[in-house]
C-alpha cells in the first residue's frame, strides 16, 4: 500500500533511500538542511517541505537519515522540528546510526506527542542504499515495526526486529560497526604485511577471498584500497563517530573491548591527519605509513 512518507536528511545514504521509496510508488515529502539536495529530488517526484515540522504534518511515517546524534536531536527537538508537527498514530523512524541513550530520550519526547519511534540503523553503505539491499536493525514497539515493515522492505534486504526497546537497533548497529572497523583495519594490515614480504597485493587478495579470511569488507572495499580512490562510501569521521558511541556504551556497561578501543584510536589518528572525509577503508594509509610500503599501483 502506498504510504504518505516523510524523509529528512538527504546525504550519501538518504538520497538513494528516498529515490527507492519514490520508485516504489510512495508519496515522499523531504527536508534537508542544505535545500539544494532536496530540490534535486523534486525532479524525481519528491515534495520539498520548509521544515522538519512541515514534513511531519504531511506524512504518516517520518524517516530520517542524519549524520549523528546531535543532528537527530536538532531535527526532532529544535525549532520547527519533528516534535512540532508530529501527532498521535504517526511513527518516526530514525535510520541514522545514533547513540542508543539519545534514541531512547527522543522516543520519550515523541511519546509525549502521542507518536511512536523506531531506531532502525542500517548497514550496507551507499552501495546497499542504492540497491535497496541494506541490513536494517530496528528497536521499538512490535506494532510500530509491523506497520513500517513494508516501507523498510523497500530499503533493505534483511530487516531484523532487535527488541521492543528503542535503542536496541542502535546497539545492534554498534556491534556491526565494531566488526566493520576491525575488518577494515585487518584488511589494511594483511595487505601491507603481504606487500612488505614482497607479495603482489592483488594476487594475495584473490587468495584470501577463497578462504576463511573472505568477507563483505574484502569484497566491497578491496577495489578502493587497491586503487587508492578513497571517495566515500562511509566516511572516516562516521566510523569514528560510531566507535565513539561504542566507547560511551562500554563506559556505561563498565567494561572494555581492547581491539575495538585500539581501532578507535587508529581512526582518531587518521581523522586528525586530515583524512576525516575519506572512505573508512583509508585506514590502510596508517599501516602503509608505518611499514613504508604501499599496496596500490
Ligand atoms: N555512508 C555510509 O556508508 C553509511 C552506512 C551505514 C549507515 N550510515 C549512517 O547513516 C547516517 C547518514 O550517513 P551519510 O553517509 O548519508 O552522511 P552524510 O552524507 O554526511 O549526510 C548527513 C546528513 O545529515 C544532515 N545533517 C548533518 N548535521 C545536521 C544538523 N545539525 N541538522 C540538520 N541536518 C544535519 C546533512 O545535511 P546537509 O546536506 O545540510 O549537510 C545530511 O543530510 C549516519 O548516521 C551514518 O552513520 C552511513
| pLDDT tens digits along 198-249 | 999 999 999 999 999 999 999 999 999 999 999 998 999 999 999 999 999 9
Determine, yes or no, domain membership for 102. Answer: yes
What b/e sequence results for 182-200 when a residue is b if at least 16 CB atoms lie within 10 Å of its CB, and e otherwise? bbbbbbbbbbbebbeeeee
- The overall average pLDDT reported for the chain is 97
For every residue of 70-81, DSSP letters joined together read HHHHHHHHSTT-
> For cell 584510536, what's the residue?
265
How many domains are contained in the chain?
2
Atom 1 of ligand 1 has which residue's CA nearest to it? 234
Peptide bond into 19 cis (omega under 30): no
Q: How confident is the model at residue 85 (pLDDT cuts 50, 70, 90)?
A: very high
Long-range Cβ pairs for the range 17-23 (8 Å, 24+):
17/63, 17/65, 17/95, 17/129, 17/155, 18/46, 19/44, 19/130, 20/129, 20/130, 20/132, 20/154, 20/155, 21/63, 21/151, 21/154, 21/155, 22/46
Do 148 and 66 reside in the same domain of the chain? Answer: yes
- Ligand 1 pocket mutation pick from 10, 11, 234 by most atoms within 8 angstroms of CB: 11
Q: Measured from the CB, is residue 14 less than 6 Å from ligand 1?
A: yes
| pLDDT tens digits along 149-184 | 999 999 999 999 999 999 999 999 999 999 999 999
Out of 166, 188, 208, pick the residue that ends a domain.
166
Q: What is the pLDDT of residue 92?
A: 98
173 is catalytic: yes
Q: How confident is the model at residue 297 (pLDDT cuts 50, 70, 90)?
A: low
CA distance 164 to 138: 9
Q: Residue 14 Cα, ligand 1 centroid: separation in angstroms?
A: 8
At residue 137, does pLDDT exceed 90? yes
| pLDDT tens digits along 87-135 | 999 999 999 999 999 999 999 999 999 999 999 999 999 989 999 999 9
Q: What are φ and ψ of residue 261, in 5° steps? A: -65, -40
Q: Measured from the CB, is residue 201 less than 6 Å from ligand 1?
A: no
Determine, yes or no, domain membership for 297. Answer: no
Q: Measured from the CB, is residue 66 less than 6 Å from ligand 1?
A: yes
Q: Measured from the CB, is residue 48 less than 6 Å from ligand 1?
A: no
CA distance 121 to 137: 6
All three cell numbers of 96, joined, read: 541514522
Instruction: State mean pLDDT over 281-292.
Output: 97
Parent domain of 156: 5-166
What is the CATH classification number for the domain harbouring 263?
1.10.1040.10
Atom 10 of ligand 1 has which residue's CA nearest to it? 96
| pLDDT tens digits along 30-40 | 999 999 999 99
Atom 43 of ligand 1 has which residue's CA nearest to it? 9
Q: C-alpha angle with apex 296: 294 to 297, nearest 5 degrees?
A: 120
CA distance 86 to 221: 40
Choosing from 37, 173, 224, 241, which is the catalytic residue?
173
Task: Give the number of other Cβ atoms within 10 Å of residue 105's Cβ.
Answer: 17
Do 157 and 176 reside in the same domain of the chain? Answer: no
Q: Measured from the CB, is residue 13 less than 6 Å from ligand 1?
A: yes
What is the CATH classification number for the domain harbouring 93?
3.40.50.720
Do 159 and 253 reside in the same domain of the chain? Answer: no
Residues 291, 231 contacting (CB under 8 angstroms): no
Task: Give the number of other Cβ atoms within 10 Å of residue 94's Cβ.
Answer: 33
Nearest CA to 286 among 240, 219, 247?
240
Instruction: State mean pLDDT over 13-20.
Output: 98
CA distance 60 to 86: 9
Instruction: State mean pLDDT over 11-26.
Output: 97
Out of 166, 187, 216, pick the residue that ends a domain.
166
Out of 166, 189, 219, pick the residue that ends a domain.
166
Q: Measured from the CB, is residue 126 less than 6 Å from ligand 1?
A: yes
Amino acid at each position: 500500500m502506498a504510504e504518505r512518507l516523510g524523509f529528512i536528511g538527504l546525504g550519501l545514504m538518504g538520497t538513494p533511500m528516498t529515490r527507492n521509496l519514490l520508485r516504489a510508488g510512495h508519496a515522499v515529502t523531504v527536508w534537508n538542511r542544505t535545500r539544494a539536495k532536496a530540490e534535486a529530488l523534486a525532479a524525481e517526484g519528491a515534495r520539498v517541505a520548509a521544515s522538519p515540522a512541515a514534513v511531519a504534518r504531511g506524512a504518516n511515517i517520518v524517516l530520517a537519515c542524519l549524520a549523528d546524534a546531535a543532528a537527530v536531536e536538532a531535527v526532532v527537538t529544535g525549532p520547527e522540528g519533528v516534535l512540532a508537527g508530529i501527532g498521535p498514530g504517526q511513527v518516526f523512524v530514525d535510520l541514522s546510526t545514533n547513540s542508543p541513550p539519545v534514541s531512547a530520550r527522543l522516543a520519550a519526547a515523541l511519546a509525549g506527542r502521542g507518536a511512536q519511534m523506531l531506531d532502525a540503523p542500517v548497514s550496507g553503505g551507499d552501495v546497499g542504499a542504492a540497491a535497496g539491499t541494506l541490513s536494517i536493525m530496528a528497536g521499538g514497539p512490535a506494532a510500530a515495526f509491523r506497520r513500517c515493515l513494508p516501507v523498510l522492505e523497500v530499503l533493505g534486504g534483511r530487516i531484523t526486529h532487535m527488541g521492543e526497546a528503542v535503542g536496541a537497533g542502535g546497539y545492534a548497529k554498534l556491534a556491526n560497526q565494531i566488526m566493520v572497523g576491525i575488518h577494515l583495519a585487518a584488511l589494511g594490515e594483511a595487505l601491507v604485511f603481504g606487500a612488505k614480504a614482497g607479495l603482489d597485493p592483488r594476487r594475495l587478495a584473490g587468495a584470501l577471498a577463497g578462504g576463511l579470511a573472505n568477507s563483505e569488507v574484502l569484497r566491497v572495499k578491496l577495489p578502493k584500497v587497491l586503487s587508492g580512490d578513497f571517495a566515500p562510501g562511509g566516511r572516516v569521521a562516521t566510523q569514528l563517530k560510531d566507535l565513539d558511541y561504542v566507547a560511551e556504551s562500554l563506559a556505561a556497561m563498565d567494561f572494555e573491548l581492547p581491539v575495538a578501543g585500539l581501532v578507535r584510536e587508529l581512526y582518531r589518528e587518521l581523522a586528525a591527519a586530515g583524512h576525516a572525509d575519506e572512505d573508512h577503508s583509508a585506514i590502510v594509509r596508517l599501516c602503509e605509513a608505518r611499514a613504508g610500503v604501499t599496496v596500490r599501483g
